[in-house]
């Protein structure tokens, strides 16, 4: 079995409610979306990165775990890792047998693929993608994905100066329809070329809108970008 892997490295989680948590990251190449604020555009292509056999992916990850010491979580990230769900399933089973927790970072659109591994993913960091940044509506896919989650999940919504109140309210409704207590993180976009982050006052205003329907809403920027690390 072959996987397309961009990089394997250890660092801290830089986004969402687990910010600062040490993890080993396996970044898979290939993505089914083209978001304007993407900071890993070099790995969008399905053939980006290296073609590695499953045993090589596992051995390199084990070395990172050994070198880093005291890390008990592996993050599967991308790109969109679920495009390679069969490879993910084998990696997850191997490391869960060793007592390692699995953290999946996903754009939350490939719910049928996710359903194949939902039972064996410990944490899911799911984006809700807004049309102003990604060029297409994904609300139906996000709703189906969220309904497929079996274990811990939180939502990230990236905000730019092009974000509209209307699309944001639709994203909030998706979460509310499943469980209003799911944590939602509002994440001002890190500036990339022409993409600019939303002002804090506007982010705070959207937070207020979300809190009318949801119980756990926070504002957390990309901390790894602020620190200049992966």
If you count them, how many residues does the chain have? Answer: 230
What pTM value is reported for the model?
0.93
In the chain, which stretches have pLDDT less than 50?
A: none
CB 100 within 8 A of CB 74: yes
Predicted local confidence at residue 38, as pLDDT: 76
Predicted local confidence at residue 186, as pLDDT: 97
Long-range Cβ contact pairs of 226-229 (< 8 A, separation 24 or more): 227/14, 229/11, 229/12, 229/14
Predicted local confidence at residue 46, as pLDDT: 77
Write b or e for each residue in 160-189: b if 16 or more Cβ atoms lie within 10 A of its Cβ, otherwise e: bebbeeebbebbbebbbebeeebbbbbbbb
């Amino acid at each position: 079995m072959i996987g397309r892997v961009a990089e394997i490295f250890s660092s801290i989680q830089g986004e969402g409610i687990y910010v600062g948590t040490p993890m080993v990251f396996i970044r898979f190449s290939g993505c089914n979306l083209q978001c304007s604020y993407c900071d890993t555009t070099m790995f969008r292509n399905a053939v980006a990165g290296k073609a590695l056999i499953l045993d090589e992916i596992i051995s390199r990850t084990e070395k990172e775990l050994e070198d880093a010491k005291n890390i008990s979580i592996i993050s599967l990230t991308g790109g969109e890792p679920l495009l390679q769900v069969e490879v993910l399933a084998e990696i997850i089973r191997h490391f869960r047998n060793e007592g390692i927790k699995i953290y999946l970072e996903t754009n939350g659109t490939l719910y049928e693929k996710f359903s194949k591994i939902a039972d064996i993913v410990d944490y899911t960091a799911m984006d809700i993608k807004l049309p102003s940044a990604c060029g297409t509506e994904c609300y139906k896919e996000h709703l189906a994905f969220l309904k497929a989650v079996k274990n811990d999940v939180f939502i990230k919504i990236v905000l730019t100066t092009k974000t509209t109140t209307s699309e944001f309210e639709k994203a909030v409704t998706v979460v509310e329809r499943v469980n209003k207590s799911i944590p939602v993180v509002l994440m001002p976009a890190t500036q990339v070329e022409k993409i600019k982050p939303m002002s804090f006052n506007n982010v705070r205003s959207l937070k207020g809108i979300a809190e009318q329907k949801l119980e756990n809403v926070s504002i957390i920027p990309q901390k790894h970008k602020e620190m200049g690390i992966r």
